[in-house]
Structure 1
Amino acid sequence: MKRLLSCALLGSSLFLGGCVLSPGSDMPYENSGPPIDDLVDVQPITFGLVQAQNAARKEFSSQQGLKEASDEMKFDASDYEYRIGKGDILNIVVYDHPELTIPAGGERSSVETGNVVHGDGTIFYPYVGRIHVAGKNVADVRTQIAAALADYIAEPQVEVNIASFQSQKAYVSGQVSNPGQQPITNTPLTVLDAISSAGGLNENADWRHVVLTHNGQEEIINVYDMLQNGQISQNRLLHDGDVLHVPDVGDEKVYVLGEVQRPQDLPMGGHRFNLVDALSQSGGIDEIQARASGIFVIRQGGPGDKQATVYQLDASNAAAYVIGTEFQLEPRDIVYVTTAPISRWNRVISQLLPSTNLTRQSVGSVRDYNDL
């Protein structure tokens, strides 16, 4: 009986140990998937690759610049002219005739003493009566008033300016410091002007997909290209009712994973990262755990039917980081640093240790029972 119990305990210990050393041995695995070579294209990161990619990027930027230059919507400041609208306040001065001019002073501003454009687009002025001014510029209104006063005043000298711009507004929303309305004035309001007046773009702003809505039609504005690549022809003129929306960065990020000090995602709204930038901002690679030859950049899409392109940087020689500084990352790239084989083995051992200790304790119990 004693020997039978000992054998039972030892058998159960060995059974547990066998389960530990062969985890999942009774679980079916699906190995029918296509080989990895059929799904991805693997390329080493070399100076030749970097030079080819930079040349392609410059060519694309040049083609975009030519396209932008021929765009019919480009803005010419010399053609801009403000048109008076309902709610604007006009300041009208007739020189040498103070009876026709309500002076502004310390107690009243020119806005308070000005002529408001009424809902029907008209104003009232002495000796002239009610005149329609909406849709006209100040030069037109000046000529109209001077012509009407000529019947009462010899060679009237009239000055007309806008004391307050109230009729027309554009709106800036999204990832800016001070979203809200922007008045349309006699100074042209462009996309960059509106963003600047709204306090600039936030850290999480997507610089490349700013949406301008004009007359119900949406257009994507690339602010990054305007500021970084000089494609200023995208700097559209804003009109009354236009909405400029700056979205958040969304998935315009680079993801740094694996054996780095701080795995994270890096927003690329207004920034460009090279491979070394991404690794540096993630605290660098883990010198103990990481395999220096296993720094990969996984990018969606590839030649032919490939689903992704995997670029590999072999940093076994520290000089390879020079190449890494020239390798430009793109939004949605995944930077992955692999684990050295010895580290993977150590992790497996550490996971097995609790069960191994259980087996050792079971064998010790059998020995203690035999001693009894």
Structure 2
Amino acid sequence: MHFSIKFLLSFVIPIFTIGCTVPGSHLPTDAKNVVEPENKQSNSTRDHINLHRLTAQSVGSLSNKKLFNSQPNTSLDNEIAAYEYKIGPGDILNVTVWDHPELTIPAGSYRSASEAGNWVHADGTIFYPYIGTVHVSGMTVREIRRDMSKKLTRVLESPQIDVNVAAFRSQKAYITGEIAKPGQQAITNIPLTLLDAINRAGGLGVNADWRNVTLTRNGHEETLSLYALMQRGDLMQNRLLQAGDIVHVPRNDNQKVFVMGEVNDPKLLKMDRSGMSLTEALSNVGGINQLSADATGVFVIRSARGNSDHLADIFQLDINDASALIIGTEFNLKPYDIVYVTAAPIVRWNRVIAQLLPTITGFNELTEGVLRIRNWP
């Protein structure tokens, strides 16, 4: 009888007390105002998470790995071939009328060409003798030359005019972010491309995220990959810069992934410029724990950003056969991905038993003490 009671208490009482003796911190939700989600169509998290299995057939479509190939950019070539600089306020023009030195202001030994030139005023005009006010803003030097020649024919016979820009000051592009020398770069009569601007700025910084460079033009933002442009020769990533363009090279501070679970050295990993694959992440933490990990349960948990109808995507890789790690090399991780390796079922069971054994042992000792006191003569 006493043995049956002791045996029953040893197993029943721990079961009832296990809910209030869980190790670690606890935050009770009772006596708190619980705010229910507005969308009550489904209360199950299962309905909001998609599970994808990584196989040799599916990894190509599931990976976010972008394939960049060397290719020309004919539209950019046509833009550069047809490019002509248009004058703006602040520019300085040099106007030369051949055989009429009285109309040409020489630069001299103490004045540069820009100091001796004709300043384009804020209203887009310059003043020239015999003509007066000439509107030049928004025009090319060829258009200005043709217009001034036509007007000078009123006082000169067959005037020969040469017009060039002595100083380019009206139009600028801005290079910001993780580069050697950020700042503004003048738009001149020589076409300025994105690659030219990066090179003039001294190149990329050590912590530059060269895969997500942004070009902002007239409020519209476009993401370009300098990795594809410089490393893969994809000229479709290059652009001809215009006045007011902002090129921003971000830092790679957010290029990190989290590796947790049954691995030898769980930690946060920082992705480099070449990115990081799933197999590379596992290698950086010493691989999975061969004594406790479930080789079928290597998961990548990825938050579904934007206007998605689900919370997250989970990608599962089974590496029971170690050759499946080659599949992991084709799966590129994204920033803030969580790589989680689950524990084997026997390990989880042993951990439950390890939690229960001290309690069972304590109750055994308690019941034995009670029986000894009760049987004490």
Please report the TM-score for the alignment, with normalisation by the length of structure 1.
0.65
Q: Does 1:320 align with 2:324?
A: yes
Q: 1:348 to 1:157 in 2, by over 3 A?
A: farther
Q: C-alpha distance in 1, partners of 2:345/2:233? A: 48
2:58 matched residue in structure 1:
49
Query: Paired residue for 1:222, among 194, 219, 224?
Result: 224
Query: Paired residue for 1:85, among 66, 83, 88?
Result: 88
Q: 1:75 to 1:175 in 2, by over 3 A?
A: farther
Q: C-alpha distance in 2, partners of 1:351/1:74? A: 70
Cα deviations across residues 30-77 of structure 1 (Å, max 9, x unaligned)? Answer: xx975969954352x33222355579977xx99xx9xx99x9x99722
Q: C-alpha distance in 2, partners of 1:340/1:321? A: 19
Q: Which amino acid aligns with 2:19?
A: G
Cα deviations across residues 128-160 of structure 1 (Å, max 9, x unaligned)? Answer: 544322222111223344455567777654432
1:370 matched residue in structure 2:
none
1:7 matched residue in structure 2:
none
What secondary structure, in the 3-state scheme, does the structure 1 residue paired with 2:322 have?
Answer: coil
Query: Paired residue for 2:268, among 261, 264, 267?
Result: 264
What secondary structure, in the 3-state scheme, does the structure 1 residue paired with 2:319 have?
Answer: coil
Retained in 2: the 8 A contact 1:210–1:220?
yes
Q: 1:91 to 1:316 in 2, by over 3 A?
A: same
Retained in 2: the 8 A contact 1:75–1:235?
no
Q: Which amino acid aligns with 1:24?
A: G
2:31 matched residue in structure 1:
none
Give the helix-richer structure, 1 or 2: 1
Q: 1:115 to 1:316 in 2, by over 3 A?
A: same
| Greater shift in the superposed pair: 228-237 or 312-321 | 228-237
Deviation at 1:259?
Answer: 3.3
Retained in 2: the 8 A contact 1:275–1:325?
yes
2:120 matched residue in structure 1:
117
Query: Paired residue for 1:189, among 184, 188, 192?
Result: 192
Q: Does 1:24 align with 2:14?
A: no
Retained in 1: the 8 A contact 2:91–2:119?
yes
Retained in 2: the 8 A contact 1:188–1:237?
yes
- What is the Cα-based RMSD across aligned positions, in Å? 5.2
Q: Does 1:163 align with 2:158?
A: no
| Greater shift in the superposed pair: 336-345 or 246-255 | 246-255
Identity percentage of aligned residues? 43
Q: Which amino acid aligns with 2:342?
A: T
Q: C-alpha distance in 2, partners of 1:142/1:324? A: 64
Q: Which amino acid aligns with 2:340?
A: Y
Q: 1:92 to 1:289 in 2, by over 3 A?
A: farther
Retained in 2: the 8 A contact 1:206–1:252?
no
1:131 matched residue in structure 2:
134
Equivalences for residues 1-372 of structure 1 within 5 A: 23-24=18-19, 34=44, 39-43=49-53, 45-51=54-60, 53=62, 76-95=79-98, 100-105=104-109, 107-147=110-150, 156-200=159-203, 203=207, 205=209, 207-208=211-212, 210=214, 212-214=216-218, 216=219, 218-223=220-225, 227=229, 232-233=235-236, 235-245=238-248, 254-260=257-263, 261-267=265-271, 271-287=274-290, 289-299=292-302, 308-330=312-334, 333-340=337-344
2:3 matched residue in structure 1:
none
Cα deviations across residues 148-186 of structure 1 (Å, max 9, x unaligned)? Answer: 556777765443221211112233445555443332222
5+ unaligned residues in a row in structure 2: which ranges? 1-5, 23-27, 29-41, 371-377
